[in-house]
Amino acid sequence: MKKNTRTLAGVAVLGVSALLLSGCSAGAAESDSNTLKLWHFESDTSAMGIAWEEAITVFEEETGATVEFEEKSFEQIRSTASQVLNSNEAPDILEYNKGNATAGLLASQGLLSDMDDIYAEYGWDDALAPSLQTTARYDENGIMGSGAFYGVPNYGEFVEVFYNKDMFAAAGLEVPTTLAEFEAVMAAFVAQGVTPLAESAAEYPLGQLWYQLALTQADRGFVDDYQLYTGDVDWSGRELTYATETIKDWTDAGYISTDATGFKAEDAGTAFINGTYPIFYSGSWWHNRFTTEATGFEWGTFLFPEAEMSPGSAGNMWVIPEKAANKDLAAEFIDITMRPEIQALIGNNGGIPVAANTEDITDEKSQELIGNFNTLTEQDGIAFYPDWPTATFYDELNAGLQELINDTKSPAEVNEQLGGQYQSGVDDIVG
Amino acid sequence: MTSTIIDEAAKAPVVGPPARQPRKRRSSTTRKTLGDWMILVVAILIGLLIAVPFFLILINSFKSPADYNAAGPLTLPTELYLDGMVNFWQRVDFPQKLWNSFFISSVVAILAVLVSLLNAFALGIGRVRGRTWIVLLILLANMLPQEVLLYPLYFMFKTVGLYDNQWAVIIIFVVIQSAFGTYLLASVLGTFPKEILEAASLDGANKWTMLWRVVYPITKPTLSVLVIFFFIWTWNEFLIPLTFLVSNASQTVPVSIAVLQGDRLMDVTTTSASALLGLLPTLIFFLIFQRTLTRGITAGAVK
């Protein structure tokens, strides 16, 4: 007992001395006019991390200013942004999530700077495809698609088909170019006892496949109605009926395993990496990981057959807080990240640049990826994500599709339920 | 943690015929009965069940991503892979986070125990009127979910200029932890033997001497247990440090672990490695003070 008391006393002494020590260091560094305080949440080995590190070097050389960079966690920026940006600790520039519930909300609260003037000054609107600008503009209610610019996306993302070339070759199958061929390929795998699609209904993958199926039947007007609330969405209409019924048919045919209800995206992804499933329909954010980790086989990508549009969007973007001390420096920094050489760095490291010269991309796999993305943006095919319209629709959609796969609800019942949930969520937003 | 549970179970009172023996103290020569063994087995099983997440962290911390993808989370690593841990260590400047956590947790532990003792002395021995209600009011700090406290606290600390300062977190947790401490100590001191206090006051002790010369030495074992609890609880806090520690230089270990969770992707092996690094200090701290912990609660008030 004596010994323990002494150890405790030791802790106490340490604590108190720490108290005194930190007294000196607690004062926060004052921001001066020649320092750019920058936050982002990309790891230093990711495409954006590498490109932005180079952008920081270029920026410091050209302006003579110093960059005070801090890597934040996605979680921290997501959950504390509204508080930090409302205080004097706000950085001059930060990476922030696009979307109505995030950037839109902060913009409507007046916490983000209106960027219309600097957009015009630097000509960024010419560099960005129209569907990529959608997530950068927010109206006074924080709804994306119109109003002033509040952010600059540096990279894009979209959903496509990843396939295992070795398994395709072993089964004597070709890359499908039509939906009928795609179903034939999957049927061929099922005939060999292989479930073709790596899916997860507990998280986003199945919802995105469902949305993709709807998009094969849809036009831009449907996407605007669904995403930007420009009109009513018909939940018993052609697009969504086709989507839900096809998911049901594919499950019945064995293209999708009923086990998918319990799988997370991570499980589906690792199952593709270890060669359990030959096809994984998911986002370009997996590209880098497959490049480094799926080394046991050759893999390739293609856009969903017969689809003019696919889920996707501009990536997270640079925003400038209203309380930023050095807005001019922040704008200069953003302009550097939009330069072709920095954009090429994003492209050559597995990311998807929004304003790169295609001839600068040297990596073969990246060429394929960026080629697919450019095809999509050129045909105005970026259709955003199914869960965007309301704050709760992500969970509602997953739950609905789980019931569909489990056979507890029919496609019509699922659509009716989802339609009700979608509409009440939208009513809350639009008012 | 497992070991304590098993230890405790091993010490558990004997069930079955031997319990009816007239002797109160169990001698070590008592034969173990079937019931004894059953209890031991159940305790070990429960212990293992509790330890499962820890084992999962342990095996995945030393696994390479390729190994993880190929064989999943449940197999043993094929080779010892330390890159995940090293990368995390360097990426977040782990020693600095370790120091921040240690500094905040130890200051909170000591100040909170001090505040609890002073409160409890007033409430338990001073016998203030309506003390049940006062204790209940104080306990509100513990009962309210932290999400509710977040915004009021944010505005308060921003106004006084302590936002993005470790002292904000320290003050908040001193209050929250001492709420529990006050509750516990007030009821312990409520049963404090009157005779001792009367004897002390006959000897001319005032309240202050009574507290430090009489009450403090006798409650010391309980106080040290509280120090350990408060240290570990504060160490594991996430939401309030996340909100109030904006600069990386002032962040704690649990906040720094969050860096590894991306928008859509997660890196299981590195996350496990970081969890292991975050868990080790509390584990070591616990093992060092384990004896105090098991004794403190059982130690009687009067010696």
The pLDDT assigned to A396 comes to 93
Same domain, yes or no, for B147 and B294?
yes
A228 occurs within a structural domain:
yes
Alpha carbon of B16: minimum distance to chain A alpha carbons (Å): 34
Last residue of a domain, one of B26, B44, B61: B61
Task: Please state, as a whole number, how many other Cβ atoms lie within 10 Å of the Cβ of residue B45.
Answer: 10
- Report yes or no: A5 at the B interface, CB cutoff 8 Å: yes
Same domain, yes or no, for B231 and B126?
yes
In whole angstroms, give the CA distance from residue A250 to residue A208. Answer: 15
A7 occurs within a structural domain:
no
**Strand pairing category for A312-314 and A156-164:** antiparallel
**How distant, in Å, are the alpha carbons of B47, B58, B84, B236, B285 from that of B54?**
11, 6, 17, 15, 17
Same domain, yes or no, for B12 and B134?
no
- Residue among B69, B110, B166 whose CB faces A26 most closely: B166
Interface of A with B in 194-223 (CB under 8 A): 204
Same domain, yes or no, for A172 and A202?
yes
B79 occurs within a structural domain:
no
A400 occurs within a structural domain:
yes
Asked if A344 and A360 count as a contact pair (C-beta separation under 8 A), the reply is yes
Same domain, yes or no, for A147 and A253?
no
The pLDDT assigned to A15 comes to 47
B69 occurs within a structural domain:
no
Residue with the two structure tokens 């199926």: A213
Same domain, yes or no, for B101 and B203?
yes
In whole angstroms, give the CA distance from residue B105 to residue B235. Answer: 6
A3 occurs within a structural domain:
no
pLDDT tens profile A259-293: 999 999 989 999 999 999 999 999 998 988 898 88
Same domain, yes or no, for A105 and A235?
no
Q: Check which CATH number belongs to the domain holding B192 and give it.
A: 1.10.3720.10
CA torsion sign for A59, A63, A68, A73 is: negative
Q: Mark yes or no for CB contact B264/A204 under 8 Å.
A: yes
- Residue among B110, B166, B291 whose CB faces A15 most closely: B110
Same domain, yes or no, for A162 and A291?
yes
Asked if A379 and A308 count as a contact pair (C-beta separation under 8 A), the reply is yes
Alpha carbon of B170: minimum distance to chain A alpha carbons (Å): 11
Same domain, yes or no, for A253 and A283?
yes
Same domain, yes or no, for A220 and A269?
yes
Evaluate if residue B23 carries a pLDDT over 60: no
Average pLDDT over residues B268-274: 86
Contacts of residue B160, Cβ cutoff 8 Å, sequence gap at least 6: none
**How distant, in Å, are the alpha carbons of A112, A295, A298, A322 from that of A84?**
12, 42, 45, 11
The pLDDT assigned to B30 comes to 66
Same domain, yes or no, for B55 and B98?
no
Same domain, yes or no, for B113 and B36?
no
Q: Find the radius of gyration of the CA atoms of chain B.
A: 24
The pLDDT assigned to B22 comes to 46
DSSP 3-state assignment of A95? strand
Q: Mark yes or no for CB contact A75/B242 under 8 Å.
A: yes
B74 occurs within a structural domain:
no
A135 backbone dihedrals φ, ψ, rounded to 5°: -80, 0
Same domain, yes or no, for B100 and B232?
yes
A367 occurs within a structural domain:
no
A130 occurs within a structural domain:
yes
Q: Which residues of B256-266 are buried (b: 16+ CB within 10 A; e: fewer)?
A: bbbbbebeebe
DSSP 3-state assignment of A346? helix
pLDDT tens profile A365-419: 889 999 999 999 989 999 999 988 888 899 999 999 999 999 999 999 999 999 9
A47 occurs within a structural domain:
yes
The pLDDT assigned to B68 comes to 84
CA torsion sign for A89, A90, A94, A99 is: positive
How crowded is the C-beta side of A193, counted as CA atoms within 13 Å? 0
Same domain, yes or no, for A163 and A150?
no
Evaluate if residue B25 carries a pLDDT over 60: no
Mutation to test the A interface, candidates B106, B113, B156, B177, most A Cβ within 10 Å: B106
A166 occurs within a structural domain:
yes
Same domain, yes or no, for A333 and A396?
no
Chain A residue numbers with beta carbons less than 8 Å from the beta carbon of B295 are 1
What stretches in chain A show pLDDT beneath 70? Answer: 1-32
**Strand pairing category for A66-71 and A35-40:** parallel
Evaluate if residue B2 carries a pLDDT over 60: no
| Strand-pair partners of A299 | A164
| Cα A118 versus chain centre, distance | 25
Last residue of a domain, one of B46, B61, B76: B61
Q: What is the span of the domain harbouring residue A135?
A: 35-155+315-356
Tell me the residue length of chain B.
Answer: 303
In whole angstroms, give the CA distance from residue A219 to residue A192. Answer: 36
Same domain, yes or no, for B108 and B45?
no
Same domain, yes or no, for B100 and B169?
yes
**Strand pairing category for A93-96 and A317-319:** antiparallel
In whole angstroms, give the CA distance from residue A54 to residue A155. Answer: 15
Confidence of residue B252 (pLDDT cuts 50, 70, 90): very high
Same domain, yes or no, for A335 and A304?
no
Average pLDDT, chain B: 83
B257 occurs within a structural domain:
yes
Percent of chain B with pLDDT over 70: 84
Same domain, yes or no, for B34 and B159?
no
DSSP A378-420: HTT-B---TT-SSTTHHHHHHHHHHHHHHTSS-HHHHHHHHHH
Total of domains in chain A: 2
B303 occurs within a structural domain:
no
Give the containing element (helix H, strand E) for A160.
strand A156-164
Residue with the two structure tokens 């309210």: B144
Q: What is the span of the domain harbouring residue B34?
A: 2-61
**How distant, in Å, are the alpha carbons of A101, A235, A415, A426, B54 from that of A419?**
20, 6, 6, 10, 43
Same domain, yes or no, for B56 and B92?
no
Same domain, yes or no, for A326 and A308?
no
The pLDDT assigned to A28 comes to 41
Q: Mark yes or no for CB contact A19/B107 under 8 Å.
A: yes
Q: Which residues of A105-123 are buried (b: 16+ CB within 10 A; e: fewer)?
A: bbbbeebbbbbeebbeebe
In whole angstroms, give the CA distance from residue B107 to residue A18. Answer: 8
Same domain, yes or no, for A126 and A188?
no
How crowded is the C-beta side of A2, counted as CA atoms within 13 Å? 0
B38 occurs within a structural domain:
yes
DSSP 3-state assignment of A296? coil
pLDDT tens profile B158-212: 999 999 999 999 999 999 999 999 999 998 888 888 888 888 888 888 888 989 9
Chain A residue numbers with beta carbons less than 8 Å from the beta carbon of B154 are 83
B82 occurs within a structural domain:
no
Q: What is the DSSP letter of B249?
A: G
- Dmax (CA) of chain A: 80
Residue with the two structure tokens 């004997």: B14
Q: Check which CATH number belongs to the domain holding A239 and give it.
A: 3.40.190.10
Q: Tokens standing for A282?
A: 């998911």
- Residue among A4, A73, A84 whose CB faces B259 most closely: A73
Same domain, yes or no, for B8 and B130?
no
Evaluate if residue B27 carries a pLDDT over 80: no
The pLDDT assigned to B130 comes to 86
ipTM of the shown complex: 0.72
Total of domains in chain B: 2
Interface of A with B in 296-355 (CB under 8 A): 296, 316
**Strand pairing category for A137-138 and A197-198:** unpaired
Mutation to test the B interface, candidates A1, A53, A288, most B Cβ within 10 Å: A1
pLDDT tens profile B45-97: 999 999 998 888 888 888 888 888 777 788 888 888 888 888 888 888 999 99
B227 occurs within a structural domain:
yes
Same domain, yes or no, for A329 and A226?
no
